[in-house]
Amino acid sequence: MVDFIKKQLLTVHQNGKQHVSEVFKFIGPGIIVTVGFIDPGNWAANLAAGASYGYELLWVVTLSTIMLILLQHNVAHLGIVRGQCLSECAYEFLPRWLSRFVLSTAGIAAAATALAEFIGAAIALKMLFGIPLVIGSILTAVICSVMLITNSYQKLERIIAGFVSLIALAYVIEVNMVNVDWAAAGIGWVNPSIPNESMLVILSILGAVIMPHNLFLHSEIIQSRQFNTQDPEIMQRQLRYEFLDTLLSMGIGWMINSAMIILAAAVFYAHGVGVTELEQAEELLKPLIGPAAGTIFALALLFAGFASSATAGMAGASIFAGMWGESYDMKDFHSRLGLFLTYVPALGLILFVTDSFQALLVSQMFLSLQLPITIFLQLFMTSSRRVMGQYTNRTFTNIILWGIGIVVTGMNIYLLMAS
């Protein structure tokens, strides 16, 4: 893996500053995907990990991010090579009945994701302004719908990149407000350890990072970078640039997820305080490190909730459009209908939510059930010479990716049974 990264970096920079400046034109799609694994579900898992086990489970963030990079890099290649997203490929290369079934399950997973994101944003609105959960969820859905329908992809990319920057800034501020044992954190990042009764938390962190809607989304949004797919030299260059975009973006996500665990370890674990809910974390931060910390926490959660709700809507719209062999385009009827079918069922379920934490668990169960379908759909497509031509996965790549797919599937089945 290290040698592969070095090879990619050296190749991209071999022609000097011209290539460096060109690389930054292709940074962006990965940032949108990053939002999916710093969403409210990740917050809950990371805070629980840090509060219960200190710095010991930081290695799980490292491992899950490596697996995520490989899967997202692979599905982005599909989008570049085919000029189609994963759902469009399913429409073209699978029997119609099978593609409709697979994509319907992915659409349900996107709606389940939206449910969790709405709840996260609504919890933040309740923390900041005292707005009831249902009203906060509706406000989030309306704001994100308007944002998706009225803005071009390029504007959405900048908006979401801004959200990610604000979340990162919030955690930089909060981590600097506490006393961090950086030596313990450094060991935790690279030293795999499984404390007693920590397996469910470990699986929760891993399961919250790799999400089915993100795999569909990345294959769609990577196509926002227009290029000549008929020129082999240009194609190879874009494939390398995509890798750097994915590596940089997932690295930012790794840092934010790590910061969540570090904050919880330095504040809650150090004081022997357990945390099981986001509202509880915000309330406990105030007396331990000051009222400003609680406000910063709530604001960061709000940014994460809005950004991840928007990307869940984009993914749902892309999946539904793909069921008709079409690309994501919010001016098109099928994309708008896909957004509606993603958001409205999620809002409908929230009307019946009495326990927000339990609702998050239920939404994760749907994701656990669907994730193996998406992963193996992706690997079937990228392993097929009929689909990818000369850019099909190499044997070694296939072994790694199928191994990750099997591990992630087993992990999610275990998590589902233990929930």
Smallest Cα–Cα separation from 221: which of 324, 147, 158, 315?
315
State yes or no: pLDDT of 16 exceeds 50.
no
pLDDT at 305: 92
Mean pLDDT of the chain, nearest integer:
86
Distance of CA 48 to the CA centre of its chain: 19
Residues 222 and 350: their CA atoms lie apart, in Å, by 32
The domains found in the chain, sorted by start residue, are 2-418 (1.20.1740.10)
Percent pLDDT > 70 in the chain is 88
Residue carrying structure tokens 């750097």: 244
Cα–Cα–Cα angle for 199, 121, 112, rounded to 5 degrees: 60
Give tens-digit pLDDT for 257-293. Answer: 999 999 999 999 988 887 777 777 877 787 777 788 8
Q: Which two tokens stand for residue 40?
A: 């409210």
Give tens-digit pLDDT for 160-177. Answer: 889 999 999 999 999 998
- Type of residue found at 29: P
Other C-beta atoms closer than 10 Å to the C-beta of 411 total 19
Residues 268 and 284: their CA atoms lie apart, in Å, by 8
> DSSP string covering 39-86, please?
SHHHHHHHHHHHHHHTTTTHHHHHHHHHHHHHHHHHHHHHHHHHSS-H
Cα–Cα–Cα angle for 384, 390, 392, rounded to 5 degrees: 35
Q: Are 5 and 248 in contact (CB under 8 A)?
A: no
pLDDT at 25: 61
Is the whole-model pTM more than 0.85?
yes
Torsion angle in degrees (nearest 10) through CA of 42, 48, 49, 55: 110
183 Cβ contact list (under 8 Å, min separation 6): none
Give tens-digit pLDDT for 62-116. Answer: 999 999 999 999 999 999 888 899 999 999 999 999 999 999 999 999 998 999 8
